[in-house]
Amino acid sequence: MRLSPLLAAFAVLLVACDDPAPPASAEAPTPPAAEPVAPDTLDPATVSDGGGIPLSPAEVDRLVAEDSLWAEALRIHYDAVVLDGHVDTPTLMLDRGYRLGERHRRDHVDLPRMAEGGLDGAFFSIYVARGYGEGQAATDRALAMIEAVNQQVAGLEGAALVRTADGALSAARDGRAAVLLGLEGGHALQGSPEVLRLLAANGVRYVTLTHANTNSWADASTDAPRWGGLNTLGRELVTEMNRLGVLVDLSHVSDDTFDDALAVTRAPVILSHSSCDAIRPHARNVSDNMLRALADNGGVIMINFYAAYVAPGADLDDVLDHVQHAAEVAGVDHVGLGSDFDGVPRLPDGLGDVTRLPWLTHGLLARGFSEADVRKILGGNVLRVLAEAERVAEELRREAPPPPASGR
């Protein structure tokens, strides 16, 4: 497909990031290969940002007096690399002029509160609502949101737009919040590998194959099925995501789409913001069989905090139940955090914004998780998966040139 003039204009959007690439042209070329972190040199159990505890001495003393385990929890939490798989703050940034660098009383995420909560980085969701359809308007919406994030992050000393595992690690160790981009809503691709390449060239590092809606190539979990999973174009797009180093995100997809994607992908997949059906039955949550398949793939489920997916009258302990269940079924190497901050109307009691993340670390330790396992869950597992996707992408690009774009 040919790009519209508006798409072509956005295609030359220059992205400031850890591995700067030439701007994408109207032909949407493949981004140049990054210098990936070798997955076998990245130990999720020990990865560290070397950061200190930003809380006041009085607050630290208060917590430790309440429970001596807090001393260990604070040490681990603020030294670990903590990454969130899904925050919807970009929608606020584009639609409300929300300033990421300023502290807010409402909403869930901003740069000062990220520092207080020890959140070293997050995938910022480039969310495209189903109402934009599956054409140019949806892609334009995604590109406008990417530009809004770029403009704000470029002006902040405490944040950096990054594209790789190494970039996220480097930013965290420099004391800057790592901002990665994930597209939520595969309909924004217009069923086009060319548009996928354009968005990847502009920084997108995962694609949620569907949102609430079934699209022209993949069935959603909360919409009527059309394809029985992925159709031929859907399988082609998953393969192209592998080649680009773009993570395949299976949150929101139907069970059949989940199975088809695992059958096609050569890279580990993610569930950027999903929880466990065995704890809270819901179409958006993941069965134990899916958790076991995810483990076989080497991927990671990042537990969603949205109260509706967690439990009636949800609180912090209910979120910990989901983390623990996923770790017991899939294994602790396959669990992370995907809050859905700024994208949901209600969070569990005790987990009302990003400043409350240390309470998750304390809760995991109280349940008997080891320091190594806590570090994996907080962010190490996500770094491993991102690094492995980068390795697979480099391998695929050596094997074959990009496939021709197909129509619908």
Residue 8 lies inside a defined structural domain of this protein = no
In degrees rounded to 5, what are phi and psi of residue 341? -55, 145
Using a cut of 0.75, tell me whether the model's pTM lies above it: yes
Burial bucket for residue 225 (CB in 10 Å: 0-12, 13-18, 19+): middle
Residue 212 lies inside a defined structural domain of this protein = yes
Residue 113 to residue 400: CA distance in whole angstroms: 45
Residue 28 lies inside a defined structural domain of this protein = no
Residue type, 321: D
DSSP 113-125: HHHHHT--EEEEE
Active-site residues, by number, are: 86, 88, 184, 211, 252, 273, 340
- Cite the DSSP H helix spans in 283-380: 288-297, 307-310, 316-330, 357-366, 371-375
Residue 199 to residue 185: CA distance in whole angstroms: 13
CATH number of the CATH domain containing 291: 3.20.20.140
Residue 3 lies inside a defined structural domain of this protein = no
The position carrying tokens 């304390």 is 362
Nearest Cα to Cα of residue 291 among 307, 311, 320, 271 = 271
The position carrying tokens 């000062």 is 112
DSSP 251-276: TTB-HHHHHHHHHH-SS--EEEEE-B
Half-sphere exposure of 135 (CA within 13 A, CB side): 4
Residue 350 to residue 231: CA distance in whole angstroms: 42
Residue 408 lies inside a defined structural domain of this protein = no
Contact indicator for 128, 187 with CB cutoff of 8 Å: yes
What is the span of the domain harbouring residue 225?
Answer: 43-399
pLDDT tens for the chain, 408 residues long, are: 434 444 444 443 433 344 433 333 333 444 444 455 666 668 999 999 988 999 999 999 999 999 999 999 999 999 999 999 999 999 999 999 999 999 999 999 999 999 999 999 999 999 999 999 999 999 999 999 999 999 999 999 999 999 999 999 999 999 999 999 999 999 999 999 999 999 999 999 999 999 999 999 999 999 999 999 999 999 999 999 999 999 999 999 999 999 999 999 999 999 999 999 999 999 999 999 999 999 999 999 999 999 999 999 999 999 999 999 999 999 999 999 999 999 999 999 999 999 999 999 999 999 999 999 999 999 999 999 999 999 999 999 998 866 565 544
Contact indicator for 402, 189 with CB cutoff of 8 Å: no
Encoded tokens for 245: 């180093």
Neighbouring CB atoms inside 10 A of 217's CB total 25
DSSP state of 356: G
DSSP 129-183: -GGGTTSHHHHHHHHHHHHHHHHHHHT-TTEEE--SHHHHHHHHHTT-EEEEEEE
Neighbouring CB atoms inside 10 A of 226's CB total 14
- Domain count for the chain, please give it: 1
pLDDT at 238: 98
Between the alpha carbon of residue 139 and those of residues 96, 151, 186, 213, the distances in Å are 20, 18, 10, 16
